[in-house]
Structure 1
Amino acid sequence: MSKGKHSHSTAPRLRILLAEAIAMGPGKAELLRAIQQHGSISAAARAMGMSYRRAWLLVDTMNRSFVEPLVGTATGGSRGGGARLTPLGTEVLRRYEAMESKAESVLQADMDDFRRWLRPDGPLPASGEDAPS
């Protein structure tokens, strides 16, 4: 699984559920990496082509899902605040990435079969849709 890239690959996608919420998944892991790299939620959102509100809601869900916040924020000041992964956030991201790698390794043969069975150019249009020109 490629880190930090949304794609139409046939890689398995791991999600950690807490009740009805997705506590951790590929998009949230990508957001944590972007926060780690850029030092703020708004800069991470811009880098991902995501609205600040969407990024903030994802961070809020993660922070409420774990026993401690994964992202800490600072507001205001001359440098305008920022965000950083907490020690737990760093560990959760590291462990999630390790789990993704394990899943990919274990499922490699099955995924190879699915890759052979799936259309290489994507799904056919649904009935009633125009075919691409």
Structure 2
Amino acid sequence: MARRRILKIKVQIYCGDEIAMGPGKADLLEAIGEHGSISAAGRAMDMSYRRAWLLVDAMNRCWETPLVHTAPGRAPGSGARLTEMGEDVLQLYRSLQASLQKASRADEYDRLTRMLLAEPRESQKV
């Protein structure tokens, strides 16, 4: 069975050596917005709390202001929510992804896929 050739454009925004935003971090922001908690967002994404917290910490350190506001405890107002900056960054990132997705349907992509093999050769020697 012939494999489908795919152009995958993955946007990663760097802050120094740290990834400030990428597809997984955007997904995590959306999950935090939906669930109101880092731990619940992590569970929804099958991710440990520690991993989710580390990703949030990295994002919060990379932007002018934090993307996620956290309030510990079980009282009203506790949990996590996206800040205005977090909502803006997420919306802009998703918009950029959509724009680049359009590029994957461009004529250049069609031309490249016609030149691309379905599978790599066993050897470089032709």
TM over 0.5: yes
Residues 37/112 of structure 1: CA separation in 2 closer, same or farther (3 Å cut):
farther
Residues 44/10 of structure 1: CA separation in 2 closer, same or farther (3 Å cut):
farther
TM-score (norm 2): 0.79
Q: Tell me what 1:43 maps to.
A: 40
What letter matches 2:34 in structure 1?
Q
Q: Tell me what 1:100 maps to.
A: 97
Kindly tell me the number of residue pairs found equivalent between the two proteins. 114
What displacement does 1:108 show? 2.3
What displacement does 1:80 show? 8.8
What displacement does 1:107 show? 3.8
Superimposed CA distance per residue, residues 16-50 of structure 1 (whole angstroms, 9 cap, x where no aligned partner): 01110100000000000000111100000000000
What displacement does 1:60 show? 0.2
TM-score (norm 1): 0.75
What displacement does 1:78 show? 3.8
Q: Tell me what 1:69 maps to.
A: 66
Q: Tell me what 1:56 maps to.
A: 53
Q: 2:31 aligns with which of 6, 29, 34?
A: 34
Residues 80/86 of structure 1: CA separation in 2 closer, same or farther (3 Å cut):
closer
Give the distance between the partners of 1:56 and 1:115, measured in 2 at CA: 39
- Pick 1 or 2: higher relative contact order, CA cutoff 8 A, min separation 6: 2
Give the distance between the partners of 1:118 and 1:60, measured in 2 at CA: 41
Segments of 5+ residues of structure 1 without an aligned counterpart are 1-8, 127-133
Larger radius of gyration: 2
Q: Tell me what 1:85 maps to.
A: 82
